[in-house]
Amino acid sequence: MEKLTSETTLTLPDWLIERALPERLASEAEQIELVLELARLNFEHDTGGPFAAVVVESESGRLVSVGVNRVVPLACSSAHAEVMALTLAQRALGAFDLGAEGLPAHGIAVNWRLCAMCFGAVLWSGVRSLVTAGSGPELEELTGFDEGPLTPDWKEALAARGIRVRDAVARERAIEVMRAFSLSGRPVYNGRGG
Amino acid sequence: MEKLTSETTLTLPDWLIERALPERLASEAEQIELVLELARLNFEHDTGGPFAAVVVESESGRLVSVGVNRVVPLACSSAHAEVMALTLAQRALGAFDLGAEGLPAHGIAVNWRLCAMCFGAVLWSGVRSLVTAGSGPELEELTGFDEGPLTPDWKEALAARGIRVRDAVARERAIEVMRAFSLSGRPVYNGRGG
């Protein structure tokens, strides 16, 4: 029989690979600033949906990885910004557990609250903190994206596994990105033709 | 500054790439048979945890992709069997939506109930059906794996998005694989040294 596909490669878009990025994002505000900018640039470049994430070392703020949504360009429904950033951080460090002994603590910053899948992806990643710019019903209302059902106690579930959550620290600016995406008329990519 | 890591490749293990696989898995029973066998072989070969998944065309049973857990070997906490199988199916078809117009309907079969992340990954994949061999507290009890909190209405949430669920169709045999994994003394790989 024909061989089944046995590998796939996940890549950042060229504009992001070529972009000069800061070595450190010392404050939460700088992390949020960057993910909001990358989320907007990602859809403006037609390289994915309006989502971005960064993984940093918690203490030093060293930028370990960036991720943007790559679902449509890579034909991969799990290539959300969080999965990209976490996967690339783990690849860079050679560790499936970003909280493993011998590593500095890591955190992730994102421009919108986790979808159902990325909630689990963050749970399993080993990061010690999560900060979101925006959170709430506006994403689904403005764009038509389906975030899926999160367990109602999602923040507690993260906290119970040692992941500190700061939610919706730049809500209005995060909504502004979603509004810009919606006004751009670009397609929403939920599965099943939705 | 040093360039950040910008890509990663996800691969199946050699033994699985080299294995002769059936072109069709015409019945649910055949799909379950295969995922139970691959789940066991995966930990016995030390190429990942005791989890496997297949994506098939619903009508014909054509085998589109296989996936096994690759978290530790690939240093990638999201490389669960379901994510691997869905990603490879999407790669093979060049479609992020396995339920897109113009494609035949697809289903996924797994040897154990979805973790919190894979619940979301299945939601976004476009598959129209999910069948699990095992489900319940035994996985966490026997192995120490953390499955994470699923929304209590996970089956309804899948059904609401057009995904038919058949849960725990070979429960005792699925538990047997977990028992064998546990007795083998191989490590559990949840993040944060857990």
What ipTM goes with this model? Answer: 0.96
pLDDT at A193 over 70: no
**CA A45 → CA A15, A42, A70, A191, B95, distances in Å?**
8, 5, 12, 22, 20
CA distance A75 to chain B (A): 4
Under an 8 A CB cutoff, do A151 and B153 touch?
no
Provide the number of CB pairs (under 8 Å) joining chain A to chain B. Answer: 231
Q: How far apart are CA A75 and CA B96, in angstroms?
A: 4
The answer for residues whose C-beta is within 8 angstroms of residue A41's C-beta and 6 or more apart is: A15, A16
Instruction: Express each pLDDT in A114-134 by its tens digit.
Output: 999 999 999 999 999 999 999
Closest among B77, B12, B118 to A124, alpha carbons compared: B77
> What is the pLDDT averaged over residues B13-29?
97
Residues 78-107 of A with CB under 8 A from B: 78, 83, 86-101
Structure confidence at residue A189 (pLDDT): 82
Of chain A, the percentage scoring pLDDT greater than 70 comes to 97
> What is the pLDDT averaged over residues A49-73?
98
Structure confidence at residue A143 (pLDDT): 92
Q: Which 3-state string (H, E, C) describes B131-173?
A: EEEECCCHHHHHHCCCCCCCCCCHHHHHHHCCCEEECCCCHHH
Instruction: Express each pLDDT in A8-22 by its tens digit.
Output: 999 999 999 999 999
By mean pLDDT, which of A84-88, B23-27, B43-47, B189-193 is the weakest? Answer: B189-193
Architecture of domain B23-184: 3-Layer(aba) Sandwich (3.40)
The answer for residues whose C-beta is within 8 angstroms of residue A56's C-beta and 6 or more apart is: A24, A25, A31, A62, A63, A64, A106, A107, A108, A109
pLDDT at B77 over 60: yes
Q: How far apart are CA B39 and CA B43, in angstroms?
A: 7
Structure confidence at residue B187 (pLDDT): 86
Structure confidence at residue B5 (pLDDT): 98
Kindly give the interhelix angle for B116-125 and B81-93, rounded to the nearest 10 degrees: 20
Report pTM: 0.97
**CA B61 → CA B21, B24, B47, B53, distances in Å?**
13, 5, 27, 14
Under an 8 A CB cutoff, do B7 and A10 touch?
yes
> What is the pLDDT averaged over residues A76-97?
98
Nearest CA in chain A to B13: A6
Under an 8 A CB cutoff, do B96 and A90 touch?
no
The correct answer on CATH 3.50.50.60 for the domain covering A22-182 is no
Of chain B, the percentage scoring pLDDT greater than 90 comes to 92
Reported confidence tier of residue A1, pLDDT bands at 50, 70, 90 = low
Structure confidence at residue B193 (pLDDT): 53
Residue of A87, A98, A146, A190 to mutate when probing chain B, most B C-beta within 10 A: A87
Structure confidence at residue A187 (pLDDT): 87
pLDDT at A194 over 70: no
Report chain A's mean pLDDT, rounded to a whole number.
Answer: 95
pLDDT at B172 over 50: yes
Contacts of A121 in chain B (CB under 8 A): 77-78, 117
Reported confidence tier of residue B192, pLDDT bands at 50, 70, 90 = low
